[in-house]
Structures are given as C-alpha cells and as structure tokens.
Amino acid sequence: MAKKYDLQEREVWDGNFAASQALRQAQVDVVAAYPITPSTPIVENYGNYVANGYIDGEYVMVESEHAAMSGCVGASAAGGRVATATSSQGFALMVEVLYQASGMRLPIVLNVVNRALASPLNVRGDHSDMYLGRDSGWIQLDAFNAQEAYDMVLCAFRIGEHHDVRLPVMVHQDGFITSHTAQNVYPLSDEVAYNFIGDFKPVDDMLDFSRPVTYGAQTEEDWHFEHKARQHKALMDSRSVIDGVFADFEKVSGRKYSRVEAYDMEDAEVAIVALGTTVETAAVAAKELRAEEGIKAGVVAIRCFRPFPFDLVRDALEHVQSVAVLDRSSPGGAMGALFNEVSAALYTAANRPLVTNFIYGLGGRDFSVSEAKRIFKEQKAHADAGHITADIQQFSGLRGPHLGFFQTKRG
Amino acid sequence: MQDLNLLANDNRGQTDLGNSSCLVGWDEVTQGTILESFEGDATGIVQKKAEERSYSNFNSYTATVASWRVKKPVFNIDVCIDCQNCWVWCPDSSILSRDKQMLGIDYDHCKGCEVCAEVCPTNPKSLLMFSEYTPLDEALSQWPEKKKKEEK
C-alpha cells in the first residue's frame, strides 16, 4: 500500500513537478524512462515517489528513449498503467515506437516538455517535437501553464484508457517557460484524483494466460489499410470522449477545459491562433489592445492538437475578419502546420477570414506582449484593407532583414 | 516412412487470404491488430500436445508458411536413434517429436534450411535433403549405405 503524501490546497509547483504529482496520484504501474532536459524532473520525481513508498510502481531504467517507449509498450501490453516523459532529441528517437504504441492501441501517457530539435543544439522550448508527433496516431493535449499540465495528465489517463478510445496520449507543456516556472497550482486530493481516473482496466493484456494474444502482427496490402482506417476512426471518435472527460473534470475541480479554447472571441474582429504559453501572452495583449486602442482582438488556442478540432476551429474563427496563425516550429520549406490546418478548416466556412502565418519563438526566443500587439494591429490593417497587405508567411522576432514569403491574390 | 496424415491439424492450411469471403471490412478487424492464439479458454494449454490444442485461425500453426521451400528434409525412421539433436536445432519448431520419439517433419512450417540434416549424427544420416517434388518413398529408396571407416 502506497504511503500518503501530504498536499496543501494551494501548492507552488512548476510544470514538471505538477505533472509528476499527477503520475503519483494516478498510481502509474510502470515508468520506463531515459531522462532528457527539460522533462527530466517528471521521471526523476516519479522515481523518488517509488523509492520512498508513495507509489506501488516500477521505475525501469533503459539505455535510450527508443528503449524507454519500447518498455512502455511492453508494460502496457502486459496490462499495466504506464507513463513516461521526454523532450526534443529523445522524442525524435522515440518516434518509431510511438507509431507502434498507437497501432497496438496502448493507452500510454507521454509527457512531452516541448523543446527545439537540433541542429543547432538547443535545450529551450519550441514546438518542433510536438509537430514531429502529429501523424503518429496519438492524442495530443496541450497545457499552457503548470496548473493545466497537472490537469491534462489526469485527464489523459481517463481519455486514453477509456475502452472506446484505447489510444496513447501526449500531454505537452512548453520547455522551461512552463516546466521550470513555479506557479500556484491547486491539486485535487489523492482520493478525488484517483477516483476521477479510476482503476486501470486492461484489454487484451498479455498476462492473461487464459487468453494468449499476439501483439505486433504483420499485415501487408490485404489487411494493413483496414487496420489503419479503424485506428484513425478511433482517434476521430475520441473527440466526444475527450469532451466528456473535460466535463467530468470540471465537476471535480471547477476548472473548465475545451478542445478549442477561446479568449475574448465573442465580438472579435482579429484573432491570434496559438499553442502553449504563447496563448496567455496573446490573451494579455488582446485585453490591453481592447482597452488601449479599441481593437476587438481575441485568441483561439488549440487545447487538443490531435485529433485536430477542424469544426471547432472553424466555429471559433469564421466571424473574424483576419487571423494570424502562430507556428513555433521551423516549417521546413512549407507554410506552418497549424496555419495549413486552420486555413483548411476556414476554407470550408461560409465566411472566409484572411489568414496569415507567423513563424516565431524558435529555440526559446521570447515572444512578448508587444509583439503580439504588433501582430494584432497588422491583422487590423488587413481587415481594414479587405485583403492581406503583408507577406502571408512572416518570421516574427527574427534579427536581420525582413523574412517573408508569398502574397495574396485575393482583393 | 513418415505418416503425412499423422500430424496435420484439421484446419491447418485452410486460411486462404485470396478468397474474398474471408476478408472483412475495416469496421470488423480486431482493435490494434491484437490476435487471439487459441479458440476459447486456453488455461492449462501448455500441458497439451500441439494436435490437442484449439489453435485459432490467427495462429501461424493453422497456416502453411513453407511455400518458398525448394528442398525438403526427409526423415528415415530406420536409421534414427532419437537423439533429439534436430529437434533442439530446428529454428522453426518443425521437428515433430513425442515422448522423445522422432516422428517426422512438419512440412507446413519447415522452410528447408537444412540445419536438421547438418546436425544429424547418425551414419548414414537419418535426415537428408531432397528436391521438394521428390516423393517420400522415392527419396527413401535412394538412401545411402553406412559409410565404412576405411572409406573416410
């Protein structure tokens, strides 16, 4: 029996500590991990809780992140509640096994503390690793601060382990800005948190000797397509389960979450779409701009990056005149991924706003309230002109000459 | 000569992936491609002999996977000393042995790798490789004599 851990009603935790406390309260059976900056404290703390008797679990030391996720796959297939954490290069090394985990429908929870991908080597936060996982078949939830990192991990177990879902879930938080910044966090009691998640109920577990099963079968052109289609359908259908878990979470915590979050969007004419800590920066800028200059600015944030909330994004933005979509990942010769997905959603709306793309914050470059205001004001200029008056893709916060690509043919 | 009917499971080799009546749609495939090895409750199945087990159609035991074999091992029961060396070495569990009595080859799963013939210690060997299309009785009629020591 695990020992009791004393919690205050209000704690001062950074995002990593908050996530590790959620792992403790979920009583995760197995964590297989190869720690990497900035996610290290999540698994380090889990190891402490196991060593000090606060979790009846197993910390498995491995020789790489590929082995870490492989260990998680094995433990999850065996029938345990499983989680781990990684960032950046470690995430990249996990990628092969991420596809195995989702294809085998194993509800592993992976904390991804977002960090830039080398080269050049960088330990700071951007969304390169989050974007690298976007086709891996995992549910991807995004936390914008430490409180949400804690809340999303609790929700992630409920969502992934739901028998209608049975999919692995990533919980993202921004490296350092969220992971290493101590903030007020209001945890649930151990009893409330555990009862919210519930006991792990395995399906097709390999340790059920009355029903031996094969995991990881080979399928060629005769079966592979059908299996991937069923997996995609499960991911798309997880949307209603996520909504239900968020509704249940509000009942126990008083904190309300949605797959798409909106700030000051009721009457907004211009909007920023963003992920991670940038959401809060942009929300502050929108409030100030409304007070200072009367610009009706708002923010739309993607809480659930996968499955992508195509219809909710469209609903949130279709009455806006101009939208700036912010991508914190080097787009590698294309428009930013979030820009592409938001644009596709808005293309099917009755009223199509102007949409522009900003690449920003790579390698942890700061994104300030004043830069968010500048972007809002530029959207206002597009809206007043009736067409995009700048390059469609621009780099924000970059030293040197202006860098931008493509011009509009509308208007 | 090996009794070819002795070892066959009733439904072995019956799965025909080219037959569209066996193919279900995306909504009917198993979640996560997780496949049952046996029909029904498998408690204690490890105590049962292979031919007594209720292998499922997903189990490779019920499918023949030897289609690319070009040479096959032939077993000569008259020379065999039941040393079990071939059973130990076979990489595909295709040597069929019961109560330490060598019974023959599982031709549904043997890939023709020749390891069994290589490790057989008898003189002449009890396992020799023949063309896939050589009938067993013809192969046995060609079995070599015991080599004499001076012939080395």
Residue type, A42: I
Spell out which residues of chain A touch residue B25, defining contact as CB-CB under 8 Å. Answer: 226
What is the sign of the dihedral through the CA atoms of B86, B88, B89 and B93?
A: positive
**B54 CB-contact burial (10 Å; exposed 0-12 / middle 13-18 / buried 19+):** middle
**Calpha distance B59→B36 (Å, rounded):** 8
Residue type, A325: V
Q: Give the pLDDT of residue A366.
A: 96
Per the document, the length of chain B is: 152
Spell out which residues of chain B touch residue A211, defining contact as CB-CB under 8 Å. Answer: 36, 38, 41-42
Q: Give the pLDDT of residue B13.
A: 42
- The CATH-assigned architecture of domain A260-396 is 3-Layer(aba) Sandwich (3.40)
Partner residue facing B29 (CB), from A106, A216, A226? A226
Prior bond of B121 cis (ω within 30°)? no
Does residue B53 have a pLDDT over 50? yes
Q: Verify whether the Cβ–Cβ distance B35 to A216 is below 8 Å.
A: no
Q: Which residue of A has its CA nearest to B40?
A: A211
Q: Give the pLDDT of residue A78.
A: 97
For residue range A357-373, list pLDDT tens digits in order. 999 999 999 999 999 99
Does residue B22 have a pLDDT over 90? no
Spell out which residues of chain A touch residue B36, defining contact as CB-CB under 8 Å. Answer: 211-214
For residue range A266-300, list pLDDT tens digits in order. 999 999 999 999 999 999 999 999 999 999 999 99
Q: Chain A closest CA to B130's CA: distance in Å?
A: 31
For residue range B95-140, list pLDDT tens digits in order. 999 888 999 999 999 999 999 999 999 999 999 999 999 999 999 9
Strand arrangement, sheet containing A297-302: A260-263, A297-302, A270-274, A322-327, A354-360, A393-396, A404-405
Q: Verify whether the Cβ–Cβ distance A211 to B41 is below 8 Å.
A: yes
Q: Give the pLDDT of residue B3.
A: 67
> Which residues on chain A place their C-beta less than 8 Å from a C-beta of chain B?
103-106, 166, 203-204, 209-217, 219, 222-223, 225-227, 229-231, 233-234
For residue range A23-43, list pLDDT tens digits in order. 999 999 999 999 999 999 999
**Calpha distance A409→A387 (Å, rounded):** 9
Which residues make beta-bridge pairs with A185? A11
CATH 3.40.50.970 residue spans of chain A: 11-253
Size of interface A-B (CB pairs under 8 A): 67
Does residue B8 have a pLDDT over 50? no
Q: Verify whether the Cβ–Cβ distance A234 to B31 is below 8 Å.
A: yes
Helix (H, G, I), strand (E, B) or coil at A8: coil
Partner residue facing B31 (CB), from A105, A216, A229? A105
For residue range A392-404, list pLDDT tens digits in order. 999 999 999 999 9
Q: Give the pLDDT of residue B12.
A: 43
Q: Chain A closest CA to B143's CA: distance in Å?
A: 40
- Summarize the confidence of residues A192-196 as an average pLDDT: 97
- DSSP labels, A331-362: -SSSS-HHHHHHHHHHHTSSS--EEEEEEE-G
Partner residue facing B34 (CB), from A215, A225, A229? A215
CATH 3.40.50.920 residue spans of chain A: 260-396
Q: Verify whether the Cβ–Cβ distance B38 to A212 is below 8 Å.
A: yes
Return the residue in A161, A221, A223 with the most chain B beta carbons within 10 A, the one to mutate for interface testing. Answer: A223
Mean pLDDT of chain A: 97
Q: Give the pLDDT of residue A225.
A: 95
Specify whether domain A11-253 bears CATH 3.90.1640.30. no
Does residue A101 have a pLDDT over 50? yes
A291-304 as b/e: b if 16+ CB within 10 A:
eeeebbbbbbbbbb
For residue range A299-356, list pLDDT tens digits in order. 999 999 999 999 999 999 999 999 999 999 999 999 999 999 999 999 999 999 999 9
Does residue A411 have a pLDDT over 80? no
CA-CA distances (angstroms) from residue A84 to A109, A175, A247, B116? 7, 16, 26, 45
By the 8 A CB rule, do B86 and B120 touch? yes
For residue range A209-253, list pLDDT tens digits in order. 999 999 999 888 888 999 999 999 999 999 999 999 999 999 999
